[in-house]
C-alpha cells in the first residue's frame, strides 16, 4: 500500500504553547544558539485522525501532512544530581560557523525549553518532555487539515527489473537504558522485537522516535528518521540503479559478547529473508554500538551479503595514528560522517535559548571553540548530512 | 618567501661517506639541489647541512644545533631533502621537519614513501619521490610548490590535490553529497567489483596474556575505567574525555562504601552503580579472595579513569602509564573492570 507525504507552507504553524515549557519561535538564520537540545521533530499530522507518532498499528500508509521548513527543538537541562548526561552537551547554532553543521539553520525553529521541577526524577522528566514534544509537533501541523498542500510525494516500492542489485538498509537503534533509548512505536528499541523488518515508509512516517541523548553529533533525532536521507535516496534509486529490498531495524548496545554476535546473525537473517545482495549498515551513538555494527558487517559478509558501513570517527585531531573504535577486516567499505573531535570556530550568538550555561559550566554565549561532537546530528551515522573526513 | 634548506653532507658538497661524521653546519644561500629549488622560484636564505652518521649518532645535539640555526634565520618555511630512499638521510630530514613543525615553523621534506623518515616527520609534510637520485628533476618542482604554499600560509587541500603523503591526520570537510548517497555509491561500486572506503580500518587488538601461573602468590591490582573516585571527586576526574588517570590508596579498606566513593562516569546511568561502588571496583570480593588465599595479596592502590569518549591513542597512553607503575610495584595480575 502506498504512502503519501503532503507538504504545506510554514505559514500554517499553529499555536506553540506547552505547559511547563518556555516556547520561542526563531526565524531562519537568526543569530541564536540553542543548548541542551534533546530532540528535533518535524510537525506532522494525519488527516485520517490516526496518530502522527503512533504507539500502535502501522504507519506508512495513507497520507501524512508535514509543515515544510519547520522543526521543533526540545531542550532540557536534567536537574537531578545523578544526571547521566554530564558533559554530553547538545547544541544547534542557527547562524555563525556552527550553522554549517545543522540543517535547521535554514528553518523556522520552535524552541521548547522544559522547566522540570527540581525534585523530579530524570526518567520522569524525560517521558514528559518527549511525549509533550511529539504532541506539540502534531498540534503545530493541525492547520494543514484545512489547507491545500504545496506538493504531494508518493512512496511505493513497485516491481522492478529483476537484474538490479537488491539493497536493504540495516538501521541500528540504541538501547543502552534510560535516556539512551530509541523508540519503535513507543517501545524502547530493546523491547521492540528487534531485529525486525519494517516497511521503509513506516520509518519515514513516525514509527521511530528519539529518546537517545548520547553524544549530540552522533545522535539520530526524530526528524532524521522522518526525513531520512538514506531511505529517501533508496526509494529514488529504486528501479534506477537498484532494487530497494527493505529496512531492518536492529538494536545497538547489546550487552554481552554473545548477545552482540547473536543479534548480528539475526539481523543478517532478516537481510537474507529480504533477498538482499547488499546492505547499508547505519550506526547509532558511539562506543560499543560500533562493535555491534562491525559484527553485523562481518556476519553479513560471511553470509555472502556485501556491506557498506556508515559511521563517525572519534579521533584526536592532532594524532597521526587515527583508529576507529572497532573494526573488522570485512569492513572494507565505510562512509565516514566526519571526525567528531574536530573543533568548530568560536562564535558569539546574540541570543541563547535552552539554557545560558553549558553542561560543563561554560557560558553558552562565550563558549570558545566547540567540538563537532556537541553539535546535534552533525556527524549523523545514517548519513543524513554531508560532513565527511579526509586524510590530511 | 624566505626558505631554509636542509641537506646531508653529500648534497652539501662536503664529501661522501668519509664525511658522514660532519657536525651541523650553516652555509650561505642555496647549495646543490637547493639551486634547483631556487630555479623553481624559492628564495633560499641559507642551507643547513649535517653528516648522516653524525645525526644518527648524536641526534639530540645535532637537532639542537640545527634548530638553533633555524631560529636565527627565521624562515617562512624549512625544506629538507630530497632524501629519496636513503634511510639515514631521510630520518634526519623527517626528524628535523617534525621538530621545526613543533616550533611553529612550516616544514616539508621530500623522500621515497617507504623511507623511515616519513614516520619521523610526524605532522610535517612529506613530498613523495622516486627511490633514487634519478627522481631529482621530477621531485624539485613539486617540493618547491608545496614549500611556497606553506610559506604563504595558504590553507592546504588534501594529499592528492597538493602532492604530499597522507600524514595520518583526519580533517573534516563538507562533501557535495550526503553520507547516505555516498554509501549507496560505495555499495553499488562494491557489488560491481570496485571496493572503496572513506576511512581505513586497522586493528588494535590485545591478545589475552597467558594465565597467571600461581594466583595465590600474586600481587593483584584493581584498575577501572568506570570513573570511580572518592566522594566529591576531589581531583576533578572528568565524566567524559578524561585527559589522565588517578590512583587512590585503599588504606586497608574492605569495601568501597557508597558513603565514601562514587562514579562520575558520564556514559551510563550511575544511579545503581553508586548504590554499591563495589560493583564497579569489586573491592569486597577481592578482599574475600585475599582472605581465602586465592590471590596472594591485593595491591593497596587502585587506578581509575573515565573510559568515555576517549580517543584510542589517549586511552593507549593511559594503559601504558598505569601498566608501567604496576610493573614497578611488582603487580602480577590486574582485575580490570570496564563499563
Instruction: Measure the CA–CA gap between A345 and A363, rounded to whole angstroms.
Output: 16
Which of B159, B180, B187 is nearest residue A333 as measured by Cβ atoms?
A: B187
* pLDDT at res. A147: 97
CA A366, A351, A44, A184 torsion-angle sign: positive
Give the pLDDT of residue B309: 77
Residues 217-256 of B with CB under 8 A from A: 238-241
Residue A316 lies in a domain: yes
Does A117 reside within a domain? Answer: yes
Q: How many domains does chain A have?
A: 1
- What pLDDT, in 10s, does the model give residues B167-220? 988 999 999 999 999 999 999 999 999 999 999 887 667 888 899 999 999 999
Task: Give the whole-angstrom CA distance, residue A275 versus residue B68.
Answer: 67
* Domain assignment of residue A226, yes or no: yes
Q: Are B78 and B107 in contact (CB under 8 A)?
A: yes
Q: With a CB-CB cutoff of 8 Å, which residues 155-174 of chain B face chain A?
A: 156, 158-159, 166-174
pLDDT recorded at residue B202: 76
Chain B residues with CB under 8 Å of A312 CB are none
Angle at A178 (CA atoms; ends B281, A264), nearest 5 degrees: 85
Q: Is residue A383 part of a domain?
A: no
pLDDT beyond 90 at B339: no
Asked whether residue B282 carries a pLDDT value surpassing 70, the answer given is yes
Q: Say which DSSP state B295 is in.
A: S
Domains and CATH numbers, chain B: 2-162 (3.40.50.2300), 215-337 (no CATH)
Backbone dihedral region for residue A43 (phi beyond 0: left; psi -120 to 50: alpha; all else: beta): beta
Does the beta carbon of B180 lie under 8 angstroms from any beta carbon of chain A?
yes
Dihedral angle over CA of B135, B141, B143, B144, nearest 10: 150
Q: Is B123 on the interface with A (CB under 8 A)?
A: yes
Q: Does B320 touch chain A (CB under 8 A)?
A: no
Q: What residues of chain A, 21 to 60, have a C-beta less than 8 Å from chain B?
A: none
**What pLDDT is recorded for position A80?**
60
**Which member of A84, A327, A373 has the closest CB to residue B201?**
A327
Structural domain includes residue A167? yes
Nearest to A332 among B169, B183, B195 (CB): B195
Min mean pLDDT across A215-229, A354-368, B88-102 is at: A354-368
A3-8/A62-67 β-pairing? parallel
Please give the residue of chain A at the shortest CA–CA distance from B241.
Answer: A87
Is pLDDT above 80 for A127?
yes
Interface contact B171-A390, CB threshold 8 A = yes
Residue A43 neighbours by CB under 8 Å, 6+ apart: A13, A14, A66, A67, A70, A72, A110, A137, A138, A140, A141
Q: Name B70's Cβ contacts closer than 8 Å, sequence gap at least 6.
A: B4, B48, B78, B100, B103, B105
- Which residues in chain B are contacts of A388 at CB distance < 8 A? 172-175, 179, 182, 198
Instruction: Please list every residue in chain A whose beta carbon sits closer than 8 Å to the beta carbon of residue B196.
Output: 333
Q: Between chains, do B190 and A306 touch, taking CB under 8 Å as contact? A: yes
What tens digit of pLDDT does each residue of B42-99 get? 999 999 999 999 999 999 999 999 999 999 999 999 999 999 999 999 999 999 999 9
* Structural domain includes residue A163: yes
User: What is the per-residue pLDDT for A201?
Assistant: 98
Q: What are residue A288's phi and psi, to 5 degrees?
A: -75, -10
Residue B2's pLDDT band, with cuts at 50, 70 and 90, is very high
| pTM (2 d.p.) | 0.86
Per-residue pLDDT at A197 exceeds 60: yes
Domain interval for residue A327: 3-374
- A381 lies in some domain: no
Kindly report, residue by residue over B103-153, the tens digit of the pLDDT: 999 999 999 999 989 999 999 999 999 999 999 999 999 999 999 999 999
Q: What is the per-residue pLDDT for A33?
A: 98
List of chain B residues whose C-beta atoms are within 8 Å of the C-beta of residue A373: 309
Per-residue pLDDT tens digits for B22-38: 999 999 999 999 999 99
Residue A217: its pLDDT value, please? 97
Cell numbers for B42: 624559492
Hey, which residues does B107 pair with through a beta bridge?
B78
Q: What is the pLDDT of residue A87?
A: 57
Give the model confidence (pLDDT) of A75-102 as tens digits. Answer: 998 876 555 555 579 999 999 999 999 9
Residue A386 lies in a domain: no
- Round to whole Å and give the CA distance between B225 and B240: 11
Of A14-18, A130-134, B9-13, B329-333, which gets the smallest average pLDDT?
Answer: A14-18
Cα separation, A295 vs A308, whole angstroms: 13
Grid coordinates belonging to B53: 652518521
Output the pLDDT for position A119.
Answer: 82
Task: Return the percentage of chain A with pLDDT > 70, whole number.
Answer: 98
Report the chain A residue with the minimal C-alpha distance to residue B178.
A386
Min CA distance, A348 vs chain B (Å)?
Answer: 22
Residue range A283-307, pLDDT digits in tens: 999 888 999 999 999 999 999 999 9
Any CB–CB contact under 8 A between B154 and chain A? no
Chain A residue with Cα closest to B119: A320
Q: Is A350 exposed, middle or buried (0-12, 13-18, 19+ CB in 10 A)?
A: exposed
- Which residues 127-186 of A are in CB contact (within 8 Å) with B? 165, 167, 176-180
| Residue A1: band (very low, low, confident or very high) from pLDDT cuts 50, 70, 90 | low
Amino acid at each position: 500500500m502506498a504512502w503519501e507525504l503532503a507538504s504545506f507552507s510554514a505559514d500554517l504553524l499553529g499555536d506553540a504553547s506547552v505547559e511547563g515549557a518556555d516556547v520561542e519561535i526563531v526565524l531562519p538564520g537568526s543569530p541564536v544558539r540553542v543548548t541542551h537540545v534533546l530532540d528535533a521533530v518535524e510537525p506532522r499530522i494525519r488527516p485520517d485522525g490516526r496518530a502522527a507518532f503512533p504507539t500502535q498499528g502501522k504507519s506508512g500508509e495513507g497520507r501524512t501532512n508535514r509543515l515544510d521548513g519547520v522543526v521543533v527543538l526540545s531542550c532540557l537541562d536534567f536537574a537531578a544530581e545523578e544526571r547521566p548526561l554530564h558533559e554530553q552537551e547538545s547544541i544547534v547554532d542557527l547562524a555563525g560557523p556552527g550553522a554549517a553543521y545543522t540543517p535547521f539553520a535554514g528553518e523556522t525553529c520552535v524552541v521548547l525549553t522544559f522547566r522540570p521541577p527540581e525534585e523530579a526524577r530524570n526518567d520522569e522528566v524525560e517521558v514528559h518532555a518527549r511525549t509533550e514534544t511529539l504532541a506539540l509537533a502534531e498540534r503545530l501541523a493541525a492547520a494543514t487539515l484545512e489547507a491545500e498542500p504545496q506538493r504531494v510525494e508518493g512512496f511505493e516500492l513497485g516491481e522492478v527489473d529483476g537484474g538490479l542489485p537488491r539493497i536493504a538498509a540495516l538501521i541500528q537503534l540504541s538501547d543502552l537504558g534510560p535516556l539512551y533509548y530509541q523508540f519503535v512505536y513507543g517501545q524502547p528499541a530493546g523491547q521492540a522485537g528487534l531485529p525486525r523488518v519494517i516497511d521503509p515508509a513506516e520509518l519515514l512516517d513516525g514509527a521511530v522516535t528519539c529518546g537517545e541523548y548520547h553524544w549530540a553529533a552522533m545522535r539520530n533525532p526524530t526528524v532524521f528518521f522522518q526525513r531520512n536521507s538514506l531511505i529517501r535516496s533508496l526509494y529514488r534509486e529504486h528501479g534506477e540503479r537498484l532494487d530497494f529490498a527493505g529496512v531492518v531495524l536492529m538494536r545497538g548496545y547489546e550487552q554481552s559478547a554473545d548477545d552482540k554476535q547473536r543479534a548480528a546473525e539475526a539481523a543478517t537473517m532478516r537481510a537474507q529473508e529480504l533477498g538482499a545482495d547488499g546492505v547499508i549498515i547505519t550506526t547509532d551513538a558511539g562506543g560499543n554500538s560500533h562493535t555491534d555494527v562491525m559484527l553485523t558487517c562481518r556476519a553479513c559478509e560471511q553470509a555472502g551479503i556485501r556491506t557498506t558501513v556508515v559511521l563517525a570517527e572519534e579521533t584526536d585531531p592532532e594524532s597521526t595514528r587515527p583508529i576507529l573504535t572497532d573494526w573488522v577486516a570485512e569492513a572494507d567499505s565505510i562512509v565516514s560522517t566526519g571526525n567528531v573531535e574536530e573543533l568548530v570556530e568560536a562564535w558569539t550568538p546574540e541570543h541563547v535559548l535552552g539554557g545560558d550555561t553549558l553542561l560543563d559550566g561554560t557560558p553558552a554565549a562565550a563558549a570558545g571553540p566547540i567540538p563537532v561532537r556537541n553539535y546535534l546530528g552533525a556527524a549523523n551515522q545514517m548519513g543524513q548530512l554531508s560532513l565527511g573526513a579526509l586524510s590530511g | 618567501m624566505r626558505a631554509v634548506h636542509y641537506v646531508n653532507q653529500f648534497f652539501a658538497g662536503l664529501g661522501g661517506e668519509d664525511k658522514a661524521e660532519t657536525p651541523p653546519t650553516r652555509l650561505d644561500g642555496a647549495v646543490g639541489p637547493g639551486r634547483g629549488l631556487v630555479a623553481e622560484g624559492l628564495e633560499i636564505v641559507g642551507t643547513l647541512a649535517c653528516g648522516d652518521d653524525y645525526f644518527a649518532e648524536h641526534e639530540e645535539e645535532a637537532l639542537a644545533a640545527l634548530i638553533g640555526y633555524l631560529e636565527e634565520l627565521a624562515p617562512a618555511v624549512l625544506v629538507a631533502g630530497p632524501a629519496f630512499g636513503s634511510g639515514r638521510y631521510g630520518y634526519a630530514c623527517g626528524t628535523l621537519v617534525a621538530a621545526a613543525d613543533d616550533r611553529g615553523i612550516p616544514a616539508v621534506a621530500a623522500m621515497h614513501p617507504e623511507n623511515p623518515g616519513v614516520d619521523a616527520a610526524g605532522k610535517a609534510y612529506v613530498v613523495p619521490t622516486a627511490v633514487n637520485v634519478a627522481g631529482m628533476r621530477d621531485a624539485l618542482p613539486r617540493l618547491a610548490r608545496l614549500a611556497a604554499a606553506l610559506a604563504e600560509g595558504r590553507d592546504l587541500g588534501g594529499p592528492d590535490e597538493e602532492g604530499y603523503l597522507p600524514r595520518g591526520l583526519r580533517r573534516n570537510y563538507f562533501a557535495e553529497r550526503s553520507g547516505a548517497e555516498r554509501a549507496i555509491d560505495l555499495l553499488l561500486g562494491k557489488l560491481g567489483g570496485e571496493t572503496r572506503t572513506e576511512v581505513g580500518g586497522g586493528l588494535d587488538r590485545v591478545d589475552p596474556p597467558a594465565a597467571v601461573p600461581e594466583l595465590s602468590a600474586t600481587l593483584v591490582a584493581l584498575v577501572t575505567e568506570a570513573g570511580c573516585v572518592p566522594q566529591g571527586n576531589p581531583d576533578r576526574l572528568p565524566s567524559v574525555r578524561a585527559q589522565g588517570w588517578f590512583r587512590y590508596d585503599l588504606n586497608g579498606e574492605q569495601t568501597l562504601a557508597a558513603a565514601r566513593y562514587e562514579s562520575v562516569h558520564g556514559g551510563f546511568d550511575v544511579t545503581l552503580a553508586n548504590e554499591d561502588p563495589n560493583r564497579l571496583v569489586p573491592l569486597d570480593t577481592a578482599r574475600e579472595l585475599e582472605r581465602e588465599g586465592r590471590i596472594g595479596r591485593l595491591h593497596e592502590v587502585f587506578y581509575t579513569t573515565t573510559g568515555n569518549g576517549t580517543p584510542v591513542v589517549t586511552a593507549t597512553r593511559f594503559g601504558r602509564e598505569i601498566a608501567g607503575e604496576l610493573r614497578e610495584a611488582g603487580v602480577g595480575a590486574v582485575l580490570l573492570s570496564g563499563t
